[in-house]
Amino acid sequence: MVLNLIGIGINDKLDISLKGLNLIKNSDEVYIEYYTCLIHNSIEELEQLFNKKVNVLYRDDIENKIEDLILNKSKENNISLLVIGDPLSATTHCDLLMRAKELQIETKVVHNASVFTAISKTGLQLYKFGKVTSVPFEQENYKITTPIRIYNQNQSIDAHTLFLLDLDPQNNKFLTANQALNILKNSSNKLLDEEDLDFEINDDTNIIVCARLGADDEVIKFGKIKDLINFDFGKPVHCIIIPSKLHFAEEDFLHQFEI
**pLDDT given at position 31:** 96
Q: Is the dihedral of CA 97, 129, 33, 111 positive or negative?
A: negative
* pTM, 2 dp: 0.93
**pLDDT given at position 252:** 98
**pLDDT given at position 102:** 95
- Taking the C-alpha atoms of residue 237 and residue 142, their distance in angstroms, rounded to an integer, is 24
Residue ranges and CATH numbers for the domains of the chain are 2-113 (3.40.1010.10), 116-257 (3.30.950.10)
Beta bridge partners of 29: 79
- Taking the C-alpha atoms of residue 240 and residue 179, their distance in angstroms, rounded to an integer, is 11
**pLDDT given at position 215:** 92
pLDDT in tens, the chain (259 residues): 899 999 999 999 999 999 999 999 999 999 999 877 778 889 999 999 999 999 999 888 888 888 989 999 999 999 999 999 999 987 788 999 999 999 999 999 999 999 999 999 999 999 999 999 999 999 888 889 999 999 999 999 999 999 999 998 888 899 999 999 999 999 999 888 788 788 999 999 999 999 999 999 999 999 999 999 999 999 999 999 999 999 999 999 999 999 8
Beta pairing class for 29-33 and 54-57: parallel
Reference 98, options 141, 50, 66; nearest CA is 66
Peptide bond into 237 cis (omega under 30): yes
Measured at the alpha carbon of residue 142, what is the angle toward residues 136 and 148, in degrees to the nearest 5? Answer: 55
Beta pairing class for 167-168 and 206-211: unpaired
Reference 5, options 104, 88, 115; nearest CA is 88
**pLDDT given at position 214:** 92
What length is written for the chain? 259
